[in-house]
Chain A
Amino acid sequence: MSLPELSTIYILSAGVIAVAASALAVRVREDFYSAILLGIVGLSIASLITLLGFTYIGIFHALVYVGATVMFVIMGIVFIGRGFASERRMVPPAILAAILAFFSILLLLSSIVSSRSAEASLELNVAELAKAFAENPLAFFYLSLSLIALVLAGISIAKGEVHE
């Protein structure tokens, strides 16, 4: 069994950090810590962009996005005052919709990436996206289910069935 390459280990670690920080940013109670975690997500994404080979864009993302944007969000939260998150009780349909959307997006993206070997000069446009949908009916099915879950949750909010 061969050891994985060093770049693979870096990409895996940055990916795990990005996903964990984003999950914490959504779940943590205070807005201030959520903004700090958004900065960590931005730094992880900048490192992933750099590892993909887009060095200047990674540096630009770290400087402009994390250095300016996230700092501005933190400053705004400090102006407003530390708020606490309040959620509607519709977490289960939202998580269901997100899981279905995850599988749909992953199927579509992986089919687009796998098609590059067949046609090297493939253009990424709306027609190709429509073809990817036509070739992956399961992705279309998952996306439809996800939208149905969100619509049902929206109807329950509009009817006032979901309270804090």
Chain B
Amino acid sequence: MNEMVILVVSSMLFCIGMVGAVIHKSAVRVMISLEIMFNGTLLALLALSKYFNPLGGGILALYAIALSSVEVGLLVSVFILLYRRSRNLDVYEIPGLGE
């Protein structure tokens, strides 16, 4: 039963994050939704790797967490620069992209 609960939770997290990434216009909210999706994926990875290859799955999860931290640091820096430049964080109105 435990494994089924974990799989349901990870699928739900992925889908909730997907809804947030699609419906929001603010870049910060899109990033937070993508992070929720990442959490769901990480949980599914570890739940599956427990039955297939625990060592490989654990190492991959450590890499994923570290890379996610780097990615968030980079994105927040980009958002701060973007906000200083245009006073707007709407993903559909980023200056320099489009017309």
Q: Are A94 and B28 in contact (CB under 8 A)?
A: no
Residues in B with CB closer than 8 Å to A153 are 22
CB-CB contacts of A18-36 with B at 8 A, as 1s and 0s?
A: 1100110110000100110
Checking A34, A75, A109 against B29 with a beta-carbon cut-off of 8 angstroms, the contacting residue is: A34
Q: Are B43 and A48 in contact (CB under 8 A)?
A: yes
Q: In the complex, A1 Cα to B91 Cα: how many Å?
A: 53
Q: Is A145 an interface residue (CB 8 A)?
A: no
9 A–B pairs (Cβ distance < 8 Å), ordered by A:
A11-B5, A25-B33, A45-B39, A54-B61, A69-B68, A76-B28, A109-B44, A116-B51, A150-B22
Residues in B with CB closer than 8 Å to A124 are 48-49, 52-53
Instruction: Please classify the interface of chain A as helix (H, G, I), strand (E, B), loop, or mixed, using the class held by over half of its residues.
Output: helix
> Given contacts A38-B36, A105-B14, are A97 and B89 in contact (CB under 8 A)?
no
Residues in B with CB closer than 8 Å to A106 are 7-8, 11
> Given contacts A31-B28, A113-B3, are A18 and B69 in contact (CB under 8 A)?
no
- Report the minimal beta-carbon distance from B7 to chain A, rounded to whole angstroms: 5
With an 8 Å Cβ cutoff, the count of chain B residues facing the other chain is: 61
Q: Are A94 and B1 in contact (CB under 8 A)?
A: no
Q: What 6 A-B pairs have minimum CB-CB distances, sorted nearest first?
A: A26-B20, A76-B76, A98-B15, A15-B9, A94-B22, A102-B15
Q: Give B49-99 interface residues, CB cut-off 8 Å to A.
A: 49-54, 58, 61-62, 65-66, 68-69, 72-73, 76-77, 79-80, 83, 89-90
Q: Is A148 an interface residue (CB 8 A)?
A: no
Q: Are B7 and A109 in contact (CB under 8 A)?
A: yes
Q: Are A54 and B52 in contact (CB under 8 A)?
A: no
Q: Give A1-26 interface residues, CB cut-off 8 Å to B.
A: 4, 7-8, 11-12, 15, 18-19, 22-23, 25-26
Q: Which residues of A contact B (CB under 8 A)?
A: 4, 7-8, 11-12, 15, 18-19, 22-23, 25-26, 31, 34-35, 38, 41-42, 45, 48-49, 51-54, 56-57, 60-61, 64-65, 68-69, 72-73, 75-77, 79-80, 83, 85-88, 90-91, 94-95, 97-99, 101-102, 105-106, 109-110, 112-113, 116, 122-124, 150, 153, 164
Q: In the complex, A8 Cα to B18 Cα: how many Å?
A: 27
Q: Are B29 and A85 in contact (CB under 8 A)?
A: yes
The CB with the most chain B CB atoms within 10 A, among A8, A25, A60, is that of A25
Checking A8, A12, A25, A80 against B20 with a beta-carbon cut-off of 8 angstroms, the contacting residue is: A25
Q: Are B24 and A113 in contact (CB under 8 A)?
A: no
Q: Are B16 and A26 in contact (CB under 8 A)?
A: yes
